Amino acid sequence: MIVVMKQGASQADIDHMTARVEELGLKAHVIVGTERTVIAAIGEKREAHKESLESGPSVAEVLPILAPYKIASREIKQETTVVVAGSLSVGGNRIGVIAGPCSVESEEQLMTTARAVKAAGATALRGGAFKPRTSPYSFQGMKEDGLKLLATAREETGLAIVTEVVAAEDVSLVARYADVLQIGARNMQNYRLLEAVGKTDRAVLLKRGPSATLDELLLAAEYILDGGNPNVMLCERGIRTFESHTRFTLPLATVIYLHGKTHLPIVVDPSHGTGHTYMVPQMAAASVAAGADGLILEVHPEPETALSDGYQSLTPDQFVETMELCRRVAGAMNREI
Ligand code: PEP
Ligand code: MN
């Protein structure tokens, strides 16, 4: 249920109703919007609870939450959530751009990329230090040494760091270095990992599983929100279909659908979504046209020698061109990039 407070309800009344929700054995999540404050009361819905809450001070109405996900639902918060992590802001008028290599490979590779993407207007640096690879024989990442290089890059450029965490036991280590914890597509339904990042104060970029429905994605986000972490961005990165001309199939209608269902901001990954460098600039621009709040793009100074995903990485020059194209489309959409 949602307890909708009247406009201008006092903090004392909001605190009182939060306590009432908890007394009824329900979990209370207070969501402060620009127009009104609502208290999401999560737990088993009983008619008696509804009636008792309705008679509380400054309560405008008590409504059921119809969606299977609750805190993620647009029903409880009309305005899009703006997730801020250092230099990165996603969900406001300005589109956030996370760019960098698939994997951190060396100091030179990372610093060259960080400087180039910063100069071209990226607002965060990506780079995997723990890599979830399909084959156990592929490069698995530089682990903590990679995290240290990312921290150095942040120090020099001021760019927020987005990096993947693949296991619950690594969360505290990765959170020590990262501004944003990326949950990869393969881990979208690793519920213990979702619970672990839900307990941190780091923003989370949750990628859609290649075979997951959008309801499953939203319910995965709900695990993180329910754990107490409100800073969640959802990421469409392509799904598995019968089509093989692209690495995955990148459905951009996802952005429009999700904006209707959730207040969480939506990021698109045209690099993994297509798997081909030549398709990335236009699909990035198309993502902006579809209303994406953020982009995540793989950039490598020398894609030919990349240890992972070189075939879908932009060179720094191609990244500059992609940003220019996206800027033009963003202007047409009344947004900035
Ligand atoms: C990545 O971002 O490099 C990555 C592994 O992405 P995904 O989890 O979407 O495959
Ligand atoms: Mn990659």
Q: What is the pLDDT of the chain when averaged over all its residues?
A: 97
Band of residue 48 on the pLDDT scale cut at 50, 70, 90: confident
Burial of 76 (0-12, 13-18, 19+ CB in 10 A): buried
Q: Each residue of 179-195: pLDDT tens digit?
A: 999 999 999 999 999 99
pTM, entire model? 0.96
Closest atom, ligand 1, to C-alpha of 308: 3
Ligand lying closest to the C-alpha of residue 210? 1
Give me the amino acid identity at 192.
R
**Domains and their CATH numbers in the chain:** 2-63 (3.30.70.1140), 83-332 (3.20.20.70)
**Residue with more model confidence, 213 or 49:** 213
Give the pLDDT confidence score for residue 47 in this predicted structure: 82
Ligand lying closest to the C-alpha of residue 250? 1
**CB of 247 shorter than 6 A to ligand 1:** no
* pLDDT (average), residues 292-310: 98
Does position 251 have pLDDT exceeding 80, yes or no? yes
Closest atom, ligand 1, to C-alpha of 187: 8
Residue from 113, 180, 237, 239 whose mutation best tests the ligand 1 pocket (most atoms within 8 A of CB): 237
Residue 333: alpha-carbon gap to chain centroid: 21
**CB of 300 shorter than 6 A to ligand 1:** no
CB-proximal residues (5 Å) to ion ligand 2? 102, 309
88: enclosing H helix or E strand:
strand 88-90
Band of residue 34 on the pLDDT scale cut at 50, 70, 90: confident
Give the pLDDT confidence score for residue 33 in this predicted structure: 83
Residue ranges in the chain assigned as alpha helix (H): 11-23, 47-54, 107-119, 144-157, 171-177, 191-198, 214-226, 253-261, 270-274, 280-290, 316-332
